[in-house]
Amino acid sequence: MFHGFTYEHYNLSDYIDSLFQEFPAMQLVLSIGLADGVGNFVISDIRLGDAVVGIPTRKSATAFGTSFDGLGGEGRLVWEQGPPAALAVSALSKLEAMLPYEDSVDGCFSVPSLLHPRTFSRPHRDLDKLFLPTYLHEHARSDCSVCEDSYLIRRSPRETGNIVVHQGSIACTAPPHASEYERCANYLGELGCLCVDQQQTTPFGDFPCLLVRGIASYFDTHPTPQWRNYAAAAAATVARRVLAEIPPGEDPADYGAGYLTQDYLSVFNSSR
C-alpha cells in the first residue's frame, strides 16, 4: 500500500479492484503486514518475530473477519477469504521443501541490516514474553513492565535466531474490550487461527492473493513496539523468498484450478 494508507479510509476490495483495472496484467496481490500471535501450543509455537503465511485449514479460511457483539457477546464470522493464488501455492511448496536444509533465512536481511543495523536487528529473546491466557493485563499501561512474571509461560529457547514460517488462518477483527481478550483468544483458537490482524477489517475480494504477516506482539498482551521493525522485515523476507520461487513470466494458467483443488481448495471447502 502507498505511504499513509489506512484501512479505515478505504474499502480494500475496491482499492485492489482499481489496481487490477489499472494494471490488467497483474497476477498476484501480495499483502504484507504485522499481526498479533495467538499463543496456542496445540496449533503452533508462535513467537515474536515469526512469520505467518495465510492458507486455509480444516477449521477456517485463509483469512476471516470476525465481530464480537459487545461485552459478553459471541464471536461471529463476517467474511471469509478464499485460498491463496495457485501461483503462490506452488512457490510456497518449493520454499517449504528448501527451508529445513538451509542454515538461515536471515540471509535476506543482509541489505537492510547493513543499512539500518539498529532498526532491523532482532530484539533479545528476553523481550518475548507470553503470558497465560487467563491473566488479565494492566491495559491502562502501554507495556507489560508491571505485569506479574509468575503468569509467564516458560518456553524452551530456540536453537537459532532464524525466521520460523507458519502456515494457517489469519483473523481480522477490531480490538476487543480489555476484559474480553481471553474469551476472544479462545474463540479464535477454536477456529485454528494463528494470528490476528487488528488493522484490517475488510475483505480482499475475489482476487489472487497471498497474505504474509510478521508477528510483532501477542493478541492478549500489551503491544511490543520493539519487535515491530524486525517482524515487518521478517514478513518482507518471507514474501521476497516466495516471489523468488516464481519464475519471471510465469503464466498462472499453467497451474490450472486442479492444482488448488487438490492441495488447498478441498481443505477450504471441507471446513465450510
What does the domain layout of the chain look like in residue ranges? 12-103+112-133+161-246
Predicted local distance difference test score (pLDDT) of residue 98: 63
Q: Are strands 193-197 and 63-68 parallel, antiparallel or unpaired?
A: unpaired
What distance in Å separates the CA atoms of residue 27 and residue 32, rounded to the nearest whole number? 16
Residue-by-residue DSSP string for 134-156: T----TTSSSSTTS-GGGBPP-P
What amino acid occupies position 168? G
Note the pTM of the prediction, 2 decimals: 0.78
What amino acid occupies position 41? F
- pLDDT digits (tens), the chain, 272 positions: 444 445 454 567 777 778 878 888 777 788 899 999 986 655 578 899 999 988 887 777 778 777 766 545 566 777 777 777 777 777 777 777 665 444 334 444 443 454 566 777 888 888 898 888 777 776 656 678 778 888 888 888 887 777 888 888 888 887 776 666 767 777 777 777 889 888 877 777 777 788 899 999 988 777 888 999 999 988 988 888 888 888 776 655 554 433 333 333 333 333 33
Distance of CA 32 to the CA centre of its chain: 8
Dig out the grid coordinates for 134 from the structure: 487467563
Span 12-103+112-133+161-246 CATH architecture: 3-Layer(aba) Sandwich (3.40)
- Phi, psi dihedral angles at 66 (to 5 degrees): -125, 160
Confirm if 75 and 250 have CB atoms less than 8 A apart.
Answer: no
